[in-house]
């Protein structure tokens, strides 16, 4: 079942449990997740958002009772997220990679993270959130009003869907701007090394090594 809606010029397709087999995202797909909370060992994955940056967003919702107990059986989504030919673009990938590994049992790669990129080149500020970056680099205002809403609800409101879509709509544009800054500051190679390490960093978090951080003294 696919539910299609339109919000401020954006097309949103809502799927249950998995992507259709014929959805194409190209070489780079923007990805985000919504969970019940911030502890992956306690709080389940509820929603995955994906976009190729063309104004179309696919939402994959996981509602256990609606899926008849099948849980996270989503072969099409897993194939996309593990495809070595498709770059997965995140903002704060560390959180999302842990959520996806915990829920789907997969290592998502290759990845890029706009938050890490921003921290490497925007050292003149501590504003590295998605809302700040969209405003300052793209001149786009996005709302965070639905950030703490109930993502485990069986039915997502139009406002929730629009919020979820906004988290992936602008990542391609942000990455283009940030990549140029990384090249300018000669830090692209360092950024790529950080991106490669992110799946391991996410696994350490799931093992409980967020605190204490094994990289601290």
Q: pLDDT digits over 179-190, tens only?
A: 999 999 999 999
- Percentage of the chain beyond pLDDT 70 is 94
Mean pLDDT over 133-162 rounds to 89
3-state SS, one letter per residue, for the chain: CEEEEEECCEEEEEEECCCCCCCCCCCEEEEEEEECCCCCCCCCEEEEEEECCCCEEEEEECCCCCCCCCCCCCHHHHHHHHCCCCEEEECCHHHHHHHHHHHHCCCCCCEEEHHHHHHHHCCCCCCCCHHHHHHHHHCCCCCCCCCCCCCCCCCCCHHHHHHHHHHHHCHHHHHHHHHHHHHHCCCHHHHHHHHHHHHHHHHHHHCCCCCCCCCCC
Residue 32, CB half-sphere, CA atoms under 13 Å: how many? Answer: 25
Dihedral angle sign, alpha carbons of residues 132, 150, 17, 199? positive
pLDDT over 80 (residue 147): no
Domains annotated for the chain, with CATH where assigned, are 2-149+157-206 (3.30.420.10)
pLDDT of residue 25: 97
User: pLDDT band at residue 206, thresholds of 50, 70 and 90?
Assistant: very high
pLDDT of residue 106: 96
pLDDT of residue 68: 60
Q: pLDDT digits over 59-81, tens only?
A: 999 987 766 655 688 999 999 99
pTM for the full predicted model: 0.93
Residue 66, token pair as written in the block: 């609606």
Q: What is the mean pLDDT of the chain?
A: 93
Look at 8 and 25; give whichever has higher pLDDT: 25
pLDDT over 70 (residue 1): no
Among the ranges 6-15, 172-181, 208-217, which has the highest mean pLDDT value?
A: 172-181
pLDDT over 90 (residue 194): yes
User: pLDDT band at residue 205, thresholds of 50, 70 and 90?
Assistant: very high
Mean pLDDT over 130-144 rounds to 92
Look at 96 and 144; give whichever has higher pLDDT: 96
């Amino acid at each position: 079942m696919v539910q299609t809606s339109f919000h401020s010029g954006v097309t949103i397709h809502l799927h249950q449990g998995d992507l259709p087999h014929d959805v194409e995202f190209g070489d780079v797909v923007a990805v985000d997740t919504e969970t019940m909370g911030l502890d992956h060992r306690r709080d389940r994955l509820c929603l995955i958002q994906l976009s190729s940056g063309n104004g179309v967003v696919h939402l994959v919702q996981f509602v256990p009772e609606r899926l008849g107990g099948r849980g996270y059986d989503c072969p099409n989504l897993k194939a996309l997220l593990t495809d070595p030919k498709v770059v997965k673009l995140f903002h704060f990938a560390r959180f999302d990679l842990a959520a996806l590994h915990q829920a789907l049992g997969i290592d998502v790669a290759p990845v890029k993270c706009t938050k890490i990129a921003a921290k490497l080149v925007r050292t003149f500020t501590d504003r590295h959130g998605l809302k700040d970056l969209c405003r300052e680099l793209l001149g786009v205002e996005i709302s965070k009003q639905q950030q703490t809403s109930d993502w485990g609800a069986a039915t997502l409101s139009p406002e929730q869907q629009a919020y979820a879509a906004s988290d992936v709509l602008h990542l391609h544009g942000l990455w283009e701007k940030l990549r140029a800054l990384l090249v300018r500051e000669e830090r692209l190679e360092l950024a790529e090394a950080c991106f490669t390490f992110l799946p391991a960093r996410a696994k350490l978090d799931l093992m409980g090594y967020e605190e204490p951080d094994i990289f601290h003294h």
